[in-house]
Structure 1
């Protein structure tokens, strides 16, 4: 088989693998969403317990933690970018809050 054909064949295999992976992730998200909606739409549930949902829905807690970590990085970036716009007084308040946490 010519080298070009091998490269094309490998590329097609990679695309198929990526497609299957995306479909697998989509199926997993659909399953988790269905479990959550089923729980919150249950008329017998008077108070929604987030920890129960996270514990009882396979993979949801891991997904949630990953989502929060991505969101954290975005928030950190937004905060860093906005620091230059704050007054000295606002910066001092933030500094005090950080010191209080340490």
Structure 2
């Protein structure tokens, strides 16, 4: 009988481990939301500044902590969508334009 009690104790311990991991996932989500809020606030502050005559995206990416990394991840995640848009637009291109694109691809 002690073995069964020990096994039950291990089950309880693993349940506790799982319940302890859940808040860390929640904390990660909250941290990500907080980080995104800070970036959004920085961008909106820049955009609403009356002294800014021309919007400089490179300035925003360089001077907003974490924004460039977020933008790079966003672009990579949307790569498939870009590929689909390109595929759909190929039908409307002329033969010369398609050949030009093929040459550009070959040089890379």
What interval of TM-score do these two structures reach, taking the shorter chain for normalisation?
0.7 to 0.9
Gaps of 5+ in 2: 1-7
**Are the structure 2 counterparts of residues 95 and 79 from structure 1 closer, same or farther at C-alpha, using a change threshold of 3 Å?**
farther
- SS state at 1:67 partner: helix
Aligned-residue offset at 1:95: 3.2
Distance in 1, Cα, partners of 2:62 & 2:45: 15
Over alpha carbons, which structure has the higher Rg? 2
TM-score by length of 1: 0.76
Distance in 1, Cα, partners of 2:82 & 2:58: 24
Match of 1:41 in 2: 48
- SS state at 2:72 partner: helix
Distance in 2, Cα, partners of 1:64 & 1:40: 17
Matched, 1:8 2:29: no
Match of 1:29 in 2: 36
Q: What is the CA RMSD across the aligned residues, in angstroms?
A: 2.8
Distance in 2, Cα, partners of 1:49 & 1:75: 24
Alignment of 1:32-71 (within 5 A): 32-71=39-78
Gaps of 5+ in 1: none
